[in-house]
Amino acid sequence: MTVLELREVKRHFGGVKAVDGVSLKVASGQVTGLIGPNGSGKSTLVNLIAGVLAVGDGDITLDGKSLIKLTADEVARCGVARTFQNIRLLPEASVLDNVVIGFYRHERSPLYASLLGLPSSRRETRELREQGRALLARFGLAEYEQVPAGGLAYGYQRRVEMARAVASAPQVLLLDEPVAGMNDVEARSLGQIFAQLAREGMAVLVIEHNTRFVAELCSQVHVLDGGRLIAHGSPQEVMRDPAVVAAYLGG
């Protein structure tokens, strides 16, 4: 079922057509891939969906509701979570606190309860820390909960960022180059987590360079080049497409 839909989305920077009329659908329950060479507009597209950049023309809808007038935090509260191309953690906070902040949009304590430190607010904090620990265990991070996130090794930082995004229980999860700089074993173990999240009903959009990783994981793949979609379909179909081969090999 389609959750996120882009219709003729455009964004130009001066004369540069970074995204130039992209239409695509992201369905719940599966992992959708978005690939393309460097500078093809992948990251711009993620930032447009997440509300970090303003859409020039066209529309982006989540369950039929338009997102393009919303700010980044409003888009997040609607249920769109993301990871960043360059890992962005809260470096001073512990691994556990980095994940607990992911629950932010689901917290229900009213303002006065938080300000006065009422038992209901404290109970919620305790429960979230428990849920955070469970999530850390799922991502293989249980023993690192007290470590300041900035001090973790690269691969672990990726996982913390992923766990934080999952904590927000989004309808749509945008992953911007999630396995960049990882070896095949690490990439595959993360891929299994993404597939599991999709099976649980999440719509996952993976933006990647690593075509092999995308081919193994995704049921649908879109290929972006020069700000336009040049192909979409199953990974096998897309990889055989002459336009895709030309774009990647510079033919």
Binding to other proteins, residues 96-135 (CB under 8 A): 97, 100-102, 104-105, 107, 109, 111, 113-117, 121-122, 124-125
Instruction: Determine the number of helices (DSSP H) and then strands (DSSP E) in the chain.
Output: 10, 10
Task: Using only the alpha carbons of the chain, give its radius of gyration.
Answer: 19
Contacts of 29 (CB under 8 A, 6+ apart): 1, 198, 199, 201, 202, 203
Contacts of 9 (CB under 8 A, 6+ apart): 19, 21, 22, 23, 45, 48, 55, 57, 58, 59, 60
Tokens of 228: 């336009």
Distance of closest approach, residue 87 Cβ to other proteins, in angstroms? 10
The mark string for 149-188 relative to other proteins (x by CB under 8 A, - otherwise) is: --xxxxxx-------x---x-----------------x--
Report residue 35: phi and psi, to 5°: -120, 170
Distance of closest approach, residue 21 Cβ to other proteins, in angstroms? 26
Distance of closest approach, residue 22 Cβ to other proteins, in angstroms? 21
User: What Å distances lie between residue 240 and 85, 219, 236, 246, CA to CA?
Assistant: 27, 15, 6, 10
Stretch that binds other proteins, among 54-62, 73-81, 196-204, 228-236 (CB under 8 A): 73-81
Our CB check for other proteins shows the closer of 28 and 114 to be 114
Our CB check for other proteins shows the closer of 94 and 211 to be 94
Binding-site ranges for other proteins (CB under 8 A): 50, 52, 71-74, 76-77, 81-82, 84, 88-94, 97, 100-102, 104-105, 107, 109, 111, 113-117, 121-122, 124-125, 143-148, 151-156, 164, 168, 186
